[in-house]
Each structure stands twice: as C-alpha cells, then as structure tokens.
C-alpha cells in the first residue's frame, strides 16, 4: 500500500473542492493580515496543490476521522484536507466551510516555518468564509446565511468581512480582530487547543515537482 506521501487524490473529489475555490465568489476574496495574503492567487495555488496531490484530500472515514459536528478540516501537519462523505456543496454553508479550511491551507503555504498566533489564523479563516458569503449573496443586505446572533464569532467575523468587501488588498481593523480573537478563545470548541497550543508553526506545502 502506498504511503500518504504517494497518495494520488481522487480526481472527482479534487474537482468538487476546486469548483468552490475557483468560483467567482471565492476569487473575489482579497485581503491581508501581516504576512498573509488571502486572495484569488492564493486559492488557485491551493487548487494546483490539490490537483497534483501536494495537499492530500480525503473523504472522512476510518482512516481519516473528523468530529461528528465538523464538515471539513485542514491539518497543516501533513498538508491534509478531509471532507465529510457526500458533502453537499450546493449548500452555501458547506461551501463556506471549504473556503474556511482552504484558507488554512493558504496560511500553511504562506507562513511555513513561522510561529503564528493560532487565534489569528482562525480569525482570518472566519473572515474569509464570511467574505465568501457576502460575495455569494445577490443582495449584500440580505445574505444567503445569516449569522447566529448568539454566536459572537459569526457576528464579529461578518462585521469585519463587511468592512473589507470590495476593498481589494485591505487589512482588517486591529481592534475588531482582537474582539474576534477573544470570541474564538471564549468558545469551548477552540479554547482548550488555543490555551494548550497558542502558537502554530506549519511546515509549508511542497513545491511542484516540475522544473
């Protein structure tokens, strides 16, 4: 049996994820935070890495497990994306999730061997997914998914995304990002990991194996 490093991604699964990342809505995302450049070029680089298996892509199962309440995830250790089997990507909520996890892949590529505050990485991924939602909605004042008013992560991430929409290459307000980071830290889903492992260091995504 081949090692994971020799795994060739399933073409249909790659196409399914790539369809989201190459969509006009995702390709409109364009903002920065520190050394992170979250934009069309970065998402296209993720698509290329999926296509030639430099990022491993799996459906969840016995060998590649994800929590029951998770639709997809990206692990920078091993450059691996896992999505739930038969994930319906016609649903904008699931497409948002793909954008969120692909943003972590962008960060893995751009921040290789750099210690990064984990809260920052998570906050940026939330902002990216809400920008995707804004661009996916014909009327920005009537979004296809509304934030949960009882979830400060969603409320603040949307606020930041709205401040960035249409401003190519802009950076979010630092105070708003601190509020988003505090909301993430207060959420039980993230708090333990953020407390035990506040810093993240990815090893990057391998370069293409051609001249």
Assigned domain for 113 exists: yes
Instruction: Spell out the per-residue pLDDT of the chain, length 211, in tens.
Output: 345 556 799 999 999 999 999 999 999 999 999 999 999 999 999 999 999 999 999 999 999 999 989 999 999 888 999 999 999 999 999 999 999 999 999 999 999 989 999 999 999 999 999 999 999 999 989 999 999 999 999 999 999 999 999 999 999 999 999 999 999 999 999 989 899 989 988 889 999 886 5
Is 210 among the domain residues? no
The DSSP line for 28-55 is T--EEETTEEESHHHHHHHHHHHHTTSS
Q: How many domains would you assign to the chain? A: 1
Structural domain for 15, as ranges:
4-200
Phi-psi group of 129: left, alpha or beta (phi > 0 → left; psi -120 to 50 → alpha; rest → beta) = alpha
Domain contains 153: yes
Read off the pTM.
0.94
Tokens 């929590």 found at: 67
CA of 158: how far to CAs of 24, 47, 149, 210, in Å?
19, 25, 11, 40
Residue with tokens 């016609």: 90
Domain membership flag for residue 120: yes
Q: Is residue 9 part of a domain?
A: yes
Domain membership of residue 57 (yes or no) is yes
Q: Among all chains, which residue has been given the structure tokens 């990507």?
A: 89
| Calpha distance 152→7 (Å, rounded) | 39
Per the CB < 8 A criterion, the answer to whether 61 and 45 are in contact is no
Q: Tokens representing 76?
A: 């920078």
């Amino acid at each position: 049996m081949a090692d994971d490093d020799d795994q060739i991604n399933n073409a249909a699964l790659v196409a399914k994820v790539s369809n989201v990342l190459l969509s006009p809505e995702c390709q409109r995302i364009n903002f920065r935070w520190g050394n992170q450049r979250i934009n069309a070029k970065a998402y296209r680089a993720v698509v290329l890495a999926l296509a030639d298996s430099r990022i491993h892509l799996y459906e969840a199962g016995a060998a590649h497990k994800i929590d029951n309440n998770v639709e997809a995830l990206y692990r920078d250790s091993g450059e691996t994306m896992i999505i739930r089997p038969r994930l319906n990507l016609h649903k904008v909520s699931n497409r948002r999730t793909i954008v969120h996890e692909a943003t972590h892949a962008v960060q893995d590529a751009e921040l290789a061997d750099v210690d990064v505050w984990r809260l920052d990485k998570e906050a940026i991924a939330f902002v990216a997914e809400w920008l995707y939602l804004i661009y996916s909605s014909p009327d920005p004042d009537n979004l296809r998914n509304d934030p949960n008013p009882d979830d400060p992560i969603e409320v603040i991430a949307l606020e930041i995304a709205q401040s960035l929409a249409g401003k190519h290459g802009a950076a979010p307000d630092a105070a708003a990002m601190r509020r988003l980071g505090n909301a993430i830290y207060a959420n039980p889903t993230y708090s333990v990991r953020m407390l035990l492992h506040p810093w993240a260091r990815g090893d990057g995504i391998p370069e293409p194996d051609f001249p």
